[in-house]
Amino acid sequence: AAGVIQSPRHLIKEKRETATLKCYPIPRHDTVYWYQQGPGQDPQFLISFYEKMQSDKGSIPDRFSAQQFSDYHSELNMSSLELGDSALYFCASSQKSGPAYEQYFGPGTRLTVT
Amino acid sequence: AQKVTQAQTEISVVEKEDVTLDCVYETRDTTYYLFWYKQPPSGELVFLIRRNSFDEQNEISGRYSWNFQKSTSSFNFTITASQVVDSAVYFCALKSVDSNYQLIWGAGTKLIIKP
């Protein structure tokens, strides 16, 4: 079965640079979520989109922005990167945005900021 | 307030032993959803199960079983005859109206299965 695709899988950037992470949800999933997971921590919710509109916002820094495109893929744009942004970034998708729908996670993008 | 507590930070057992991972949750909502996810060393998060608050039936899937008890607000996960491949961090999570339907995660339990 098709899974959530994230690219790139690994990314190394320097401080103050920008980064763009991409997410391709499972086919026919219309809701996308972004999470940030630091070492030894649980995933922290950043932002979600339903039918190409932002549906909820979590602890996403102002330096980050995201959008969902007409083909339902999503991109997380990160600017003025800081050392503390080094983390595993997950994208997840679900069939609908309701609570009963489980989220399926992609393999993650490991971002290292040096 | 919504909260998920996984009191066991790390569990280490020898292969073929049974092991239970505890999950205790707090919510004021009467309708809520509970989840377990597995995160192996490779890093991906794998969905294991979803349980609705109005369905207290326990579930078994192969060597995995889940015990949902509303009376104690617990949703425990048992692995029978553990295998080395079960080594991972396991997260319990909760979703409800009060959390704006966002996943509230426990801190995770690191399970180490020794050969």
Q: What is the pLDDT of residues A35-82, one digit of tens each?
A: 999 999 999 999 999 999 998 899 999 999 999 999 999 999 999 999
The stretch B95-110 carries a mean pLDDT of 89
Which pLDDT score, from 0 to 100, does residue B57 have? 84
Residue A98: pLDDT above 80? Answer: no
The confidence band for B58, taking pLDDT boundaries of 50, 70 and 90, is: confident
Residues of B with CB under 8 A from a CB of A: 31-33, 35, 37, 42-47, 50, 52, 91, 95-97, 100-103, 105-108
In whole numbers, what is the pLDDT of chain B averaged over residues?
A: 94
Q: Do A98 and A56 form a contact (C-beta atoms < 8 A)?
A: no
Backbone angles phi, psi at A90, to 5 degrees: -105, 145
How far is the C-alpha of B92 from the C-alpha of A37, rounded, in Å? 15
Q: Does A45 touch chain B (CB under 8 A)?
A: yes
